[in-house]
Amino acid sequence: MNTRLIGATVIAALGGLLFGFDTAVISGTTHRLQGVFGLTSFWLGLTVASALMGTILGSITAGRPADRYGRKTTLSVVALLYLVSAAGSALAWDWYSFVAFRLIGGLGVGGASVVSPMYIAELSPAQYRGRLVAVTQFNIVLGILLAFFSNYCLAGMDLGESDWRWMFGVEAFPALAFFLLLFLVPRSPRWLVAAGRTDEARAVLQRYGTDTGDVGGEIDEIGYSLRAEHRTLREPLFQRRYRRPILLAMAIAAFNQLSGINAVMYYAPRIFEMAGSGASSALLQTVAVGGTNLILTMAALAVIDRIGRRKLMLAGSLGYIASLGVTAWAFCHYGSDFTESGGAIVLAGLLVFIASHAFGQGAVIWVFLGEIFPTAVRARGQALGSTVHWIMAAAISWTFPMIAELSGGHTFVFYAICMIGQLVWVIRAMPETKGVTLEEMQRRLGIE
């Protein structure tokens, strides 16, 4: 694997790191936002969900500009969206401007979730593709940890009432670095061939590597693939023969968010304060959540091709149920009168919860979505799963403050019940895709 390829992968994967940072940074600001803008629980939920609404739109629309103007150009636009969102959120003069800038950041997140892995996959030789594309997932989780750590550090600097502005504004620096570093990476060779710029594609493949060392043969293969895709674009996704993969995609995407993962990611400091922690201690505990997420994500990526998707999902589901059950019990038992031991139970429960997510759903969902659809409709099938995921993420993030205000215990009971449903689904409906060719998977799912 040459150093140019590694460098280009790391730069492109910064889109994933900013994805994670942008979505998680708001967790440390919810109390300030509620006070500054006078928000009820309903409007706080909407404020937090505003970026996710932009994410839905960004993930749906990113494919067209990526095809028309190129993956690299689209990533540059994504970097600018991150930059504008960070600076604008920090300087927001009222609630409307703040939500507008968060929505812009969401567009960047949605675009990055589609284009960063697409660019890396198209630049990478097949023998390295899986590991290099996984760098994006790793960077998303790393970005979440960095957001939690940044919030903790800034909260300790005694910046006063404006500390929330710094928490958002600090993202402008990596966003600017991402934009500038993109000038160092090449265009996707696949896009160059599609655009008729074959000589440029040949130069990129010579510098960054091919599957066989035969640059001319690689260009011919890309051309053949593009012609085949063009022939299948008219194949409709929503038809009876694709019913099972459609239902599988929608189910795994919905269960991903019904676990309450985004409620924990976006409201972790608030949850720890509900369990009796001080503001500073709550932010530090959030850093522990981010660190656990990173470590267990790395562990899952190391074993997913060895032990399979279903076993990871089974282990994750059992961990979800146990951890959510314990957390729900703690909130029901202690109510608003948490002791130190009660707070420790909540911390332990949420650490096991985040570990269960990282080792199960978090590692499996995007791999699984890419394996259950036939080639003719794979892109649209993955887009469907992604869209369901982001819609559910927005719904969970919006509703959590209202539900938690009524009863923290019952909130986690609801998530635990949903995860019992996931466990039943995994046992009864989820197929194992490890080591199964795409053609064999098509037959197993009854697609003729």
Q: Tell me, what CATH number does 352's domain have?
A: 1.20.1250.20
Question: Whole-angstrom Cα distance, residue 314 to residue 255?
Answer: 13
For residue 317, the model assigns a pLDDT of: 95
**Does the pLDDT at position 231 exceed 60?**
no
pLDDT digits (tens, 9 = 90+) for 134-173: 677 788 888 888 988 888 888 888 787 888 899 999 999 9
Does 222 map to a domain?
no
Per-residue pLDDT averaged across 332-346, rounded?
A: 83
pLDDT digits (tens, 9 = 90+) for 31-89: 888 888 998 888 988 888 888 888 888 888 877 788 788 888 989 999 999 999 999 99
Q: Are 257 and 396 in contact (CB under 8 A)?
A: yes
The alpha carbon torsion through 382, 191, 2, 302 (nearest 10 deg) reads 0
Q: Is the domain of 60 the same as that of 176?
A: yes
For residue 82, the model assigns a pLDDT of: 93
From the CA atom positions of the chain, what is the Rg in Å? 22
Does 43 map to a domain?
yes
For residue 376, the model assigns a pLDDT of: 67
Q: Are 154 and 50 in contact (CB under 8 A)?
A: no
CA-wise closest residue to 15 among 244, 207, 181: 181
pLDDT digits (tens, 9 = 90+) for 414-427: 999 999 999 999 99
Grade residue 381 by pLDDT with cuts at 50, 70 and 90: confident
Q: Is the domain of 143 the same as that of 253?
A: no
Mean pLDDT of the chain: 84
For residue 323, the model assigns a pLDDT of: 94
For residue 318, the model assigns a pLDDT of: 96
Q: Which of 185, 214, 233 is the last residue of a domain?
A: 185
**Does the pLDDT at position 280 exceed 90?**
no
Per-residue pLDDT averaged across 169-180, rounded?
A: 93
Please spell the DSSP secondary structure of 291-311, one letter per residue.
HHHHHHHHHHHHHHHHH-HHH
Q: Is the domain of 108 the same as that of 249?
A: no
pLDDT digits (tens, 9 = 90+) for 88-115: 999 999 999 999 999 999 998 888 877 8
Q: Choose the weakest-confidence range: 23-27, 249-253, 272-276, 320-324.
A: 272-276
Instruction: Provide the number of structural domains found in the chain.
Output: 2
Does 231 map to a domain?
no
Q: What residue numbers bound the domain in which 70 lies? A: 1-185
Does 225 map to a domain?
no
Q: Taking CA 368 as the corner, what is the angle to CA 377 and CA 127, rounded to the nearest 5 degrees?
A: 90
For residue 126, the model assigns a pLDDT of: 64
Q: Is the domain of 256 the same as that of 388?
A: yes
Does 228 map to a domain?
no
CA-wise closest residue to 350 among 289, 404, 300, 295: 289
**Does the pLDDT at position 230 exceed 70?**
no
**Range with the largest mean pLDDT of 56-60, 115-119, 292-296:** 292-296
pLDDT digits (tens, 9 = 90+) for 55-68: 888 888 877 788 78
Q: Which of 161, 185, 209 is the last residue of a domain?
A: 185
Q: Is the domain of 171 the same as that of 261?
A: no
Beta strands in 30-130 (DSSP E): none
Of the chain, the end-to-end C-alpha distance in Å amounts to: 39
**Does the pLDDT at position 311 exceed 80?**
yes
Per-residue pLDDT averaged across 344-350, rounded?
A: 90
Instruction: Indicate the pTM of the whole model.
Output: 0.80
Q: Which of 142, 159, 185 is the last residue of a domain?
A: 185
Q: Is the domain of 333 the same as that of 400?
A: yes
Q: Is the domain of 37 the same as that of 174?
A: yes
Does 148 map to a domain?
yes
Does 353 map to a domain?
yes
Does 431 map to a domain?
yes
